[in-house]
Structure formats: structure tokens, C-alpha cells
Amino acid sequence: MIRRAHSELGRAIRTITLLRYLSEPQSREQITQVTNRNEAFHGFADWLMFGGRLIGQSDPDHQEKVIKFNELLANCVMYSTALDITGSANEIAAEGQPVDLDDLATVSPYITHTVRRFGNWTLNLTPPDDTPNTRLDLEPRVLFAAPWTDPPHEMPKATGGDEDSQREAPRRAGRAARHR
């Protein structure tokens, strides 16, 4: 009886979602965007897959590992590409050229022509002379046409008590907000 009720509830939810999809253009656009983004990621991960798309073993644990490692590799390549894009945008801004954020928003991290999947792999175990930049921070001159003038926002300090109670105040406030 409960199983049938859950089944009927699922059908009703599916029907409502389908009707919203058909009647709300904004909902269709959002669903299409998310679907396209996911498909682009999976296409990129498939392109990176060493040995093709076929997983040669029927062991589910092994298959899960292959998929997880492939997604990890795809995320690492995307992160490296995002670092390159950020560095390029910061260099353009440092030269005094404007960076159009609309143009920057269209650049995809799924660039394949710069990745050498089967190229020369060398292992260099000596540490670099300087620390590599691993932050994806665009400089303010890229993000803002005018210099930043607003003062930074500070967290309100707890009243009274010692350092421990002042450190606990934001946590308590967060917990209180979650329990409301």
C-alpha cells in the first residue's frame, strides 16, 4: 500500500515538473543550461579517458574507481586551464587593457587543444624556485573599472568575555540561525 502511494506521489511530482517545464520559459532555459554544462563536462571527461570510453572490467568497484579517477583528472585539467585563463586576464589588465567580463564569462575551461594527453611526460622531482600561483583570484582592476572604494566589511565583534567567547560568538550565531 505504501509502495503504491509513493509511486503515485512520484508520478504527480513528475507531472507537475513537466507542466512547469512546458509553461515556464525561464525554467526551460535554466534546465537546458544545467544540462548543457553537465554534458560538456562529461564530453570533456570522455575525451580525457585513457584507453577509450570502454571500461575493460566488469567489477563494479573497479569501474567506480576508473570513473572517479577520470573525473579527478578532468577537474585537475580544468583547474589548470582556469589558472591559465585567470593569469592571462590579470596580464591583460596589468598592461592597462580593459577586460570585458562578458567575454571572460564565455571562455570555457574545457579547452582540449592545449592538453597533451599522450605527449612527452617528464618527471622533475626538484622543487620550483618560486612558489607557483594556485589561486583563481582576478585582480580588482579586472573586476572593477573604477578603483575599489568601499571599506572592507568586518564581522561584528562579540561583546564582553575573553578571546574564546569572542571566537565562539559567530559559531553560536550560525547555530542559532540554523535552529530557527
Q: Where do the structural domains in the chain lie, given as residue ranges?
A: 1-52+59-106
Distance CA 108, CA 81 (A): 9
What distances in angstroms separate CA 28 from CA 17, 19, 33, 38, 148, one per listed residue? Answer: 11, 11, 9, 15, 37
Instruction: Quote the pLDDT of residue 41.
Output: 92
Instruction: Quote the pLDDT of residue 53.
Output: 64
Instruction: Quote the pLDDT of residue 137.
Output: 77
66 C-beta neighbours (distance < 10 Å), count? 16
Instruction: Quote the pLDDT of residue 147.
Output: 45
Residue showing cell 560538456: 40
Residues 115-134 have pLDDT tens digits of 887 777 777 888 878 877 77
> In angstroms, how far is the first alpha carbon of the chain from the final one?
35
Distance CA 133, CA 88 (A): 13
Instruction: Quote the pLDDT of residue 143.
Output: 67
The low-confidence residues of the chain, meaning pLDDT below 70, are 51-54, 141-180
Instruction: Quote the pLDDT of residue 52.
Output: 65
